[in-house]
């Protein structure tokens, strides 16, 4: 075998997909729950991304919640299966430029008209933002979430 063929074979092997990046993406998605019940129609088809170093799309959230009001930070952490830092932001802090007005309106429509933003830290630079409302009659927390990279 010529050295060109050996080098070509080496490059082919080095460029094979190991699946490592898919596994890490799947594990970060699997760690935090987003749905366990039907997604309201108002949240389906939102085609907007959250601007950060990752520019990730908003994904629907619909979780069973039998509490008497919107969950607290600790309750929300338990609801999504997260054991670390969860904090809340005002909608103004989350969207100071009004870029996500359509997203906010969809969440208002799907829930009780009020929007709450939870910031969920999943690493030193990775964060999930959950923009949610409460659908009291159905016993659900509904909204969207987006992954952000903040360094």
pLDDT of 30 reads 40
Which tens digits make up the pLDDT trace of 37-64? Answer: 888 989 988 999 999 999 999 999 999 9
**Whose CA is closest to 150, among 56, 78, 24?**
56
SS3 letters for 86-130?
Answer: EEEECHHHHCCCCCCHHHHHHHHHHCCCCCEEEEEECCCCEEEEE
Count CA atoms within 13 Å of residue 15 on its CB side. 6
Is pLDDT above 70 for 69?
yes
Are 28 and 147 a contacting pair, CB within 8 Å?
yes
Region 11-31 average pLDDT: 53
Q: What is the pTM of this model?
A: 0.78
Is pLDDT above 80 for 28?
no
């Amino acid at each position: 075998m010529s050295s060109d063929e050996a080098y070509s074979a080496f490059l082919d092997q080095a460029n094979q997909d190991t699946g490592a990046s898919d596994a890490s993406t799947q594990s970060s998605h699997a760690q935090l729950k987003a749905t366990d019940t039907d997604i309201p129609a108002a949240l389906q088809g939102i085609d907007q991304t959250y601007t950060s170093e990752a520019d990730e799309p908003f994904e629907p959230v619909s979780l069973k919640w039998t509490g008497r009001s919107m969950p607290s930070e600790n309750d929300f952490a338990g609801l999504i299966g997260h054991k670390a830092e969860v904090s809340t932001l005002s909608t103004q802090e989350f969207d100071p430029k009004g870029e996500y007005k359509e997203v906010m309106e969809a969440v208002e429509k799907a829930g009780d008209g009020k929007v709450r933003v939870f910031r969920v830290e999943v690493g030193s630079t990775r964060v999930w933002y959950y923009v949610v409302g409460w659908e009291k009659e159905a016993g659900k927390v509904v909204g969207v979430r987006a992954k952000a990279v903040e360094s």
